[in-house]
């Protein structure tokens, strides 16, 4: 896009405060029509919310309410700046000066996105995942496109697709998978796509999109987003395939491409669950599973030009594989995958490092934030015994941190005595040559810092939270 964007951060609190009124939808009887972030185009007045095939989708994208909603979502999601350094806090100021130009460039199809900022993050199973962070203005445009395209495309997607769709999620996918297993489909065809988001063929994806959308302006802008360069280490790399993870539009485009797979599996009558690029097909025998794996791999590679990772894909009994961090048991119940438990422990180890230099209360708060969300996600898995063990391990990690904060023998002994430990036991433990970890597991440390002590500090008890979630 040709508009000049501000460099650095522009703090204008009075202007920012004024946005709250502008962002509210118009209310009859309360002052008529407000300006909003983006003025509503006259051409958008007759656009409808559910037209799957239309040549006027850009008018819907540019509606004031749609762009205001996109702005609110981008600000709520926060996120890092793109290549231009603009933060989400700067976005309002930029729009205030460029909204007409932004809208015009969208309506005439001339909008040109900036390169995405390349960032590599470690993958749970090893290796690295390439992320592409668009500028905040590009995120705003992508979000506005996403909201309109979702209304057009999502209703036609398969009922067996659960990832990144409104009203659907991982727990629904797991519930369906459990039903398949309970029906006797104890063999899973676990299809792993090799670097899926990096391998998406632009021509094939755009062909799928143009089947459902006839607005050439929208198609042109989506293509430019796909082809936007990747800026890494000061070098802009051209991209001829892939849809980088990090932009709002990528998950919808991934679902659109893989909808061909869903339709093919439905045509063949298979029982399957797909969450983004994670697809599990449930069959009754290994012979059938091997036949399905071969035919699905051929379909993906020949028709969609995607690569199946033969090393990670497998035909196996359901309890031998994991799905969305869980392990399905042969009777249809859920367990937690060992890798998920180890990743949780790695996160706890990182949070409770003894050399972090933060207070115990802050450390407990960080743990609570992670552990509460973690146990909520895995609440349907049979894992109470794991949580009992994990609760004790977390408390010992924190005891170790608290003892090291004493630093020397005398403060440690004084802490034990204040906690009700006898004088003799306090000094014997403090003077022992044991390291911090061994001291944290002694009866004296447990007496000084029992479970009730951590409860008073606010530490979440995983077993209690799990049982409360089970009772709902």
pLDDT tens for 270-313 read 999 999 999 999 999 999 999 999 999 999 999 999 999 999 99
Tokens coding 326 = 């869980």
Neighbours of 450 (CB within 10 A): 13
Phi, psi for residue 193 in degrees, rounded to 5: -90, 130
What is the SS3 assignment for 119? Answer: strand
pLDDT band at 197 (very low <50, low <70, confident <90, very high): confident
- Write down the number of H helices and E strands in the chain: 20, 11
Classify strands 322-323 and 116-122 as parallel, antiparallel or unpaired. unpaired
Neighbours of 342 (CB within 10 A): 11
Mean of pLDDT over the chain: 85
pLDDT tens for 360-375 read 999 999 999 999 999 9
Tally the C-alpha atoms within 13 A of residue 105's C-alpha that lie toward its C-beta.
Answer: 16
Q: In what order do the strands lie in the sheet with 271-275?
A: 271-275, 278-283, 187-192, 314-317
Q: Provide the H-helix boundaries in 129-249.
A: 136-153, 170-182, 196-199, 202-212, 216-227
- Identify the helix (H) or strand (E) that includes residue 271: strand 271-275
Alpha-carbon distance of 257 to 463, in angstroms, equals 41
Distance of CA 122 to the CA centre of its chain: 14
Phi, psi for residue 50 in degrees, rounded to 5: -135, 40
Judge whether 112 and 217 are in contact, CB under 8 Å: no
pTM over the 0.75 mark: yes
Q: What is each CA distance from 154 to 165, 166, 212, 252, in whole angstroms? A: 7, 8, 11, 8
**The pLDDT of residue 25:** 34
Tokens coding 247 = 């932009």
**The pLDDT of residue 125:** 63
Tokens coding 171 = 């727990």
Characterize 31-61 residue by residue with b for buried, 16 or more Cβ atoms within 10 angstroms of its Cβ, and e for exposed.
eeeeebbbebbeebeebeeebeebebbbbbb
**Residue 41's closest CA among 86, 83, 90, 104?**
104
Phi, psi for residue 357 in degrees, rounded to 5: 75, 30
pLDDT band at 7 (very low <50, low <70, confident <90, very high): very low
pLDDT at 75 over 60: yes
Judge whether 41 and 63 are in contact, CB under 8 Å: yes
Dihedral angle computed from the Cα positions of residues 185, 187, 193 and 197, in that order, rounded to the nearest 10 degrees: 40
For 53-57, 72-76, 296-300, which range has the lowest pLDDT when averaged over its residues? 53-57
pLDDT tens for 313-334 read 999 999 999 999 999 988 888 9
Average pLDDT over residues 153-162: 95
Average pLDDT over residues 396-411: 95
pLDDT tens for 34-50 read 334 444 333 333 333 33
Of 12-26, 321-335, 438-452, the range with the highest mean pLDDT is 438-452
DSSP string, 429-447: HHHS---HHHHHTSHHHHH
**The pLDDT of residue 356:** 87
pLDDT band at 56 (very low <50, low <70, confident <90, very high): confident
Alpha-carbon distance of 314 to 318, in angstroms, equals 11
């Amino acid at each position: 896009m040709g508009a000049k964007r501000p460099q650095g951060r522009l703090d204008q609190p009075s202007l920012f405060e004024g946005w709250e009124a502008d962002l509210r939808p118009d209310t009859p009887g309360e002052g008529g029509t407000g300006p909003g972030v983006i003025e509503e185009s006259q051409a958008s007045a007759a656009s409808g919310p559910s037209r799957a095939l239309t040549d006027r989708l850009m008018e819907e994208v540019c509606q004031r309410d749609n762009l205001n909603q996109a702005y609110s979502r981008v600000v709520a999601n926060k996120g890092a700046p793109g290549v231009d350094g603009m933060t989400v806090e700067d976005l309002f100021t930029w729009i205030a000066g460029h909204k007409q130009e932004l809208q015009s460039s969208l309506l005439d199809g001339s909008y040109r996105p900036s390169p995405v900022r390349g960032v590599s993050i470690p993958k749970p199973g090893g290796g690295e995942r390439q992320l592409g962070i668009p500028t905040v203005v590009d995120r705003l445009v992508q979000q506005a496109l996403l909201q309109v395209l979702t209304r057009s495309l999502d209703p036609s997607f398969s009922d067996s697709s659960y990832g990144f769709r409104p009203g659907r999620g991982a727990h629904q996918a797991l519930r369906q998978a459990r039903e398949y297993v309970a029906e006797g489909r104890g063999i899973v065809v676990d299809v792993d796509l090799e670097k899926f988001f990096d391998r998406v063929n632009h021509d094939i994806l755009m062909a799928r999109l143009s089947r459902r959308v006839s607005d050439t302006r929208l198609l042109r802008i989506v293509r430019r987003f796909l082809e936007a360069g990747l800026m890494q280490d000061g070098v802009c790399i051209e991209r001829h395939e892939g849809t980088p993870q990090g932009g709002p539009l990528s998950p919808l485009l991934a679902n659109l491409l893989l909808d061909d797979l869903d339709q093919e599996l439905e045509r063949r009558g298979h029982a399957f669950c797909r969450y983004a690029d994670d697809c599990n097909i449930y069959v009754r025998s290994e012979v059938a599973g091997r036949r399905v794996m071969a035919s699905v791999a051929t379909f993906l590679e020949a028709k969609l030009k995607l690569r199946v990772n033969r090393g990670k894909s497998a035909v196996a009994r359901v309890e031998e594989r994991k799905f969305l961090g869980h392990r399905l048991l042969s009777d249809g119940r859920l367990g937690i995958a060992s890798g998920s438990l180890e990743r949780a422990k790695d996160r706890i180890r990182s949070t409770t490092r003894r050399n972090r230099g933060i207070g115990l209360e802050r450390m407990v708060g960080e743990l609570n934030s992670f552990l509460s969300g973690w146990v909520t996600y895995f609440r349907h898995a049979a894992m109470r015994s794991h949580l009992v063990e994990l609760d004790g391990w977390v408390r010992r990690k924190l005891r170790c941190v608290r003892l090291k904060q004493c630093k020397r023998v005398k403060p440690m002994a004084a802490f034990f005595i204040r906690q009700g430990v006898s004088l003799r036991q306090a000094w014997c433990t403090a003077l022992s040559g044991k390291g911090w970890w061994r001291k944290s597991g002694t009866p004296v440390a447990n007496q000084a810092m029992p479970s009730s002590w951590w409860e008073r500090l606010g530490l979440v008890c995983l077993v209690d939270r799990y049982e409360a979630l089970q009772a709902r």
